[in-house]
Structure 1
Amino acid sequence: MDQFADVQQSFGRCLRGNNRFVDDFYRRLLGSDERIATMFASTDWTLQNKAIRRGISLAITFAGTPVAARRQVREMAEVHSRGGRAPITPELYEHWIESLILTVQASDPDYSPSLGKRWRTALEPAIGFMQNSY
């Protein structure tokens, strides 16, 4: 059994219960640091909205069963590395995490502080991998 099934279920509730979940997340993220807003200036939002859903799910999967998501997380890390097409400096990931947790808190009717901690624990391996791959 996936040790982060509760987080995947929370993510599902967020997407089902708030049809603006991704928009709300990006509103928070883009408002969190002007460097981030600049990075998204010429973004194709249709593609980005699909990519973020996949990326969040992959991050959760990576925490529970890293072998199942290793290749995809490595590919995301390459895209966001110093030499990638969309580089993200390591310190900016904290804004990403905080924006996501706040959006989950506002969107998941079953959210609790302990579930928020589970989200953080689930995101930590993939985010750490990406930061270290920069």
Structure 2
Amino acid sequence: MDEAVVNAVKQSYGRSLGNHDLMNEFYDRLMASHADIARMFSGIDMRKQQAVLKQSLSMAILYPRDNLIATHAMERVRKSHARDRLNIRPELYKYWLDTLMGVVAESDPEFTPELEQQWRAVLSHTISFIAEGY
């Protein structure tokens, strides 16, 4: 993956984190996007989940660069999201990505349609890897 694209996404993510409600907003919208997703988070400590997502997103952005630490992190996510563990069906990742793009678009003051395409390219690469482990 083009390093400039990954860098643009990384910078956008950094700007988005300036919105301290980013993770709350993401999970509120994600759970509203599909009934199956809402059920998956029943009984989950959302503060802990938000912290995990914050770290995982950083790794997901770096994964297309063949970063060793990010690769190991995404391998763990792949295993944990597999059919025999959390059972995250591959078709549900669309809701995750669309929801993330919505909150990032509102949180990053420099967000553009081109930047959204870059985000989607980077994360689609990572999501494909995770979904293949289903």
Q: TM-score range by the shorter chain?
A: over 0.9
Describe how 1:53-132 pairs up with structure 2 within 5 A.
53-84=54-85, 86-132=86-132
Report the alpha carbon displacement of residue 37 of structure 1 after superposing the two structures with TM.
0.3
Partner of residue 42, structure 2: 41
Partner of residue 6, structure 1: 8
Contact 1:81 1:133 in 2 (8 A): yes
Report the alpha carbon displacement of residue 71 of structure 1 after superposing the two structures with TM.
1.2
Structure 1: distance between partners of 2:66 and 2:98 = 23
Partner of residue 29, structure 2: 28
| TM-score (normalised: structure 1) | 0.93
| TM-score (normalised: structure 2) | 0.93
Residues 36-73 of structure 1: CA deviation (Å, up to 9, x unaligned): 00000111112101110111111100022344421110
| SS in structure 1 at match of 2:17 | helix
One-letter code aligned to 1:120: R
Report the alpha carbon displacement of residue 119 of structure 1 after superposing the two structures with TM.
0.2
Structure 2: distance between partners of 1:28 and 1:64 = 29
One-letter code aligned to 1:115: L
Percentage of identical aligned residues: 33
Structure 1 stretches of 4+ moved >6 Å: none
Structure 1: distance between partners of 2:124 and 2:59 = 12
- Over the aligned positions, Cα root-mean-square deviation in angstroms equals 1.4
Structure 2: distance between partners of 1:12 and 1:74 = 24
One-letter code aligned to 2:8: D
- Runs of 5+ unmatched residues, structure 1: none
Q: Does 1:50 align with 2:14?
A: no
